[in-house]
Amino acid sequence: MTAEPMSAEPMSAEPMSAEPMSVATDVLVVGSGAAGMYAAIEAARGGAHVLLADRSLIGRGGATIMAQMTVAAALGEETPDDWQHHYADTIAAGRGLCDEQLARLLCQQGPECIRELDQWGVGWARKNGHITATMAPGHDRPRCVYVDFINTGPAVSKTLRTVMARNQTIRKAGDLCIVDLVAGDGEITGAVAYHLGTGAPVTIAAKATILATGGLTRLYRRNSASTNMGGDGYALALRAGASLIDMEFVQFFPIGHLAPRLIGMDPIMWDPFRYKLGGQLLNGRMEEFTSRYGSDEDGKYVLTRDLATYAIFKEVEAGRGSPHGGAYLSFEHCTPASLREAFGPVIDRLAANGIDLTRMPVEVAPIAHYHMGGVKADASMSTEVPGLYVAGEVVGGANGANRLSGNAITEALVFGRRAGRGAAERAKRMALPRLRAQDARAAIDLVCATGDARKSFNTAAAVAQLQSVMTDDVGPFRTATGLQRAFAEIRMLASGLGERPPGHGASFDLERLEWFDLRNMLAVARAVVESALNRAESRGAHQREDFPKMLPQWQVHQSVRWRDGELRVSGAPAAAAAAALAS
């Protein structure tokens, strides 16, 4: 396999030179969460030279590192299990909209990936020599493996980073922000990036490109993932001519921490303790309320995410919320000893934040957590555009209208591995990368564009404003009026953004980065809003107050494409088998 070797030692920078620095690789992987890292490892195993680019540090940003626990896979080590049971649960949770091929791949190959990570020393929790699995809402049996109750994601991330470090054919490039994919003769031939540390443009010629940039939780004010998850992969794919599907389905995690202020802990931290101790979800009057919405918890944690989110929102709307506009989560019925056993050192971290669970409840509220929608791909992770592959949360459709808990890391691993394999196979068939300078010109011009920061447009404030718009009008509960208001606001923000980034290519210019982020975030926000406005029914994570029923005629995947400067939304019926299984 041929690819120009790239220099390994850091050198001094000359930003904004006339000709951008260019590098070549067999496979370009964008994003270094679990999906990107597994893709890189698998592509290298397939004989490819890999460039793994991340806009922040390698293996530190994204969602994987924030995942605290539960990776769903039908290992069947403790309790008999089969991938088909996992598949049935995934399809049922997806409310008739799972892409069957993708859901099947996820469930079928999950155990293999879990076992490979085990061999790599991730340290899955074991009991009596078996990898142990816990019960999670929506699963028919204990199926969710973990490392420990708050460190599963960091352990997965660290393991993959360590495996990559042993591999000489994977080059890692932190602080490298991909601005646009480059297309020539109908296929993706690479990408244009800029180096955040110096502001310098970079052209990357690649035989195959894998997008593994994660979801779009940054579009919302309160979210459970890293700040670099603003839907970059969706926007890159959209501009490159690929379709996005199911963009209206944003999953909210029902019990994100709300109050009192808690630092040094992930806001979804309460989930593991609900698995262990149950805990009581109470409204502002300290009454149990989930039974009013069709699910009696009875001290156990069985409520699916969409139902719990719905129940909390409805209590708040009825004036029965907690002081900060959520619900109470109480462990006051637990003994100090059982709390200490379940929470371990976390009890001390809570104490440092003034929280004593034996005496007080905390406040929780739904928080943007995951995106079911994404780039349309087949079971080989190829998109409609030759040369472009996707992995992890960038992939749309596997989880339908609502993701089952535990499936996110599994899909990162399975889809990452599959994309890496496919990309390496494509690279093997090609002699040289085919990127032509003229195809990269427009993106390079954009990266090299300079301009004064407009006093009237604060990029950080614009991001915050977009987050407010999305939270207020494009949350889990939607109306035509609210969605139209959001649509108008997004248009206004887009016109304020202008055609060119501010700044002069200085080192670590966050305003410039935010300009490129907003360019992506606004495009993705529009895709979500337009899809949500079209879908005149309620299903899974998409609840329309003005169309409260789930309707059989909406058993449809909506796709969004970018054509002639406009978004085009169209629909196609979902496969019949998924529909039957979910009914």
Q: Based on the shown chain and the rule CB under 8 A, indicate whether residue 66 belongs to the binding site for another protein.
A: yes
Helix, strand or coil, per DSSP, at residue 481: helix
Distances (CA, A) of 319 to 285, 309, 325, 472, 555: 10, 16, 9, 17, 34
Cα angle 429, 420, 394 (rounded to 5 degrees) comes to 125
Q: Which residue in the set 318, 442, 460, 577 belongs to the binding site for another protein (CB under 8 A)?
A: 460
Q: For strand 71-72 and strand 176-184, is the pairing parallel, antiparallel, or unpaired?
A: unpaired
Select from 138, 267, 374, 482 the one that contacts another protein (CB under 8 A): 267
**Contact between 265 and another protein per CB under 8 A:** yes
Residue 264 makes contact with another protein by CB under 8 A: yes
Compare residues 267 and 400 and give the one whose CB is closer to another protein: 267
Identified binder of another protein from the candidate list 94, 96, 110, 174, rule CB under 8 A:
174
Q: Is 221 in the site for another protein (CB under 8 A)?
A: no
Nearer to another protein, 352 or 551 (CB): 352
Question: Looking at the DSSP assignment, which residues form a beta bridge with residue 183?
Answer: 188
Cα→Cα distances 449→236, 296, 397, 496, Å: 19, 58, 37, 17
C-alpha separations of 437 from 15, 183, 433 in Å: 19, 11, 12
Respond yes or no: is residue 305 known to be catalytic.
Answer: yes
- How many Å is the Cα radius of gyration of the chain? 23
Part of the chain binding another protein (CB under 8 A), chosen from 34-42, 264-272, 493-501, 528-536:
264-272
Cα(530)–Cα(560) distance, integer angstroms: 9
Candidates 25, 198, 213, 251: give the one binding another protein (CB under 8 A): 198
Query: What is the rounded distance in angstroms from the CA atom of residue 42 to the CA atom of residue 46?
Result: 6
E runs forming strands in 66-113: 71-72
Q: How many residues bind another protein (CB under 8 A)?
A: 58
Q: How far is CA 558 from CA 13, 106, 125, 130, 543, in A?
A: 45, 22, 40, 42, 16
The 8 Å CB, 24+ separation contacts for 507-511 are 507/13, 507/15, 507/197, 507/198, 507/199, 508/196, 508/197, 509/199, 510/459, 510/460, 511/453, 511/459, 511/460
Told to check if 564 binds another protein by CB under 8 A, we report: no
Which residue is catalytic, options 55, 305, 434, 512?
A: 305
Residue 91 CB, shortest distance to another protein, in Å, is 32
Specify the length of the chain in residues.
Answer: 583
Least gap, CB of 264 to another protein (angstroms): 4
The pattern of x and - marking residues 222 through 251 that bind another protein according to CB under 8 A reads ----xxx-----------------------
The reply to whether 213 sits near another protein by the rule CB under 8 A is no
Specify the stretch interacting with another protein by CB under 8 A; choose among 38-46, 384-392, 457-465, 540-548: 457-465
d(Cα 429, Cα 337) in Å, to the nearest integer?
Answer: 61
In terms of Cβ atoms closer than 10 Å to its own Cβ (0-12, 13-18, 19+), residue 182 is: buried
570 near another protein, rule: CB under 8 A = no
Q: Is 262 in the site for another protein (CB under 8 A)?
A: yes
Residue 68 or 538 with smaller CB distance to another protein: 68
391-410 positions binding another protein, by CB under 8 A? none
Among residues 509, 521, 560, 581, which is the contact residue for another protein, using CB under 8 A?
A: 509
Least CB distance to another protein at residue 576 (A): 42
Residue ranges of the alpha helices (H) in 456-509?
459-473, 480-497
Kindly state the smallest distance separating residue 223's Cβ from another protein, in Å: 9
Check binding of 153 to another protein (CB under 8 A).
yes
Q: Is 328 helix (H, G, I), strand (E, B) or coil?
A: strand
Residue 459 binds another protein, judged by CB under 8 A? yes
Closest CB to another protein among 257 and 526?
257
Helical H segments across 375-406, by residue range: none
Residue 262 vs 414, nearer CB to another protein: 262
Among 94-102, 124-132, 503-511, 526-534, the segment contacting another protein (CB under 8 A): 503-511
Q: Is 344 near another protein (CB under 8 A)?
A: no
Interface with another protein, residue 202, by CB under 8 A: yes
Determine the Cα–Cα distance for residues 230 and 149; give it in Å rounded to an integer.
27
Q: How far is the CB of 464 from another protein (least distance, A)?
A: 5
Q: Least distance in Å: CB of 196 to another protein?
A: 9
Nearer to another protein, 165 or 437 (CB): 165
Distance between CA atoms of residues 451 and 511, nearest Å: 11
Using rule CB under 8 A, residue 493 touches another protein: no
- Of 437, 492, 510, 580, the one binding another protein (CB under 8 A) is 510
Find out whether 285 and 361 touch, Cβ atoms under 8 Å. Answer: no
Q: How far apart are CA 219 and CA 217, in angstroms?
A: 5
**Pick from 108, 330, 458, 534: which binds another protein (CB under 8 A)?**
458
Shortest distance, position 263 Cβ to another protein, whole Å: 5
Q: Which residue lies nearer to another protein by CB, 11 or 431? A: 11
Q: Which of 42, 81, 99, 175 binds another protein (CB under 8 A)?
A: 175
**Tokens representing 105?**
């791949």
Rounded least distance, CB 509 to another protein, Å: 7
Site for another protein in 13-42 (CB under 8 A): 13-14, 21
Interatomic CA distance for residues 156 and 80, integer angstroms:
25
* Subset of residues 82 to 121 that bind another protein, contact rule: CB under 8 A: none
CA distances from 369 to 101, 203, 218, 255 (A): 24, 33, 9, 11
Closest CA to 356 of 378, 338, 377, 332: 332
Quote the tokens at residue 228.
Answer: 């670099």
| Residue 365 CB neighbour total at 10 angstroms | 24
Amino acid (one-letter) located at 56:
S
- Among all residues, which ones are annotated catalytic? 305
- Contacting residues toward another protein, per CB under 8 A: 6-14, 21, 53, 56-58, 60-61, 65-66, 153-154, 165, 172-176, 195, 197-198, 200, 202, 226-228, 260-267, 353-354, 453, 458-461, 463-464, 506-511, 514
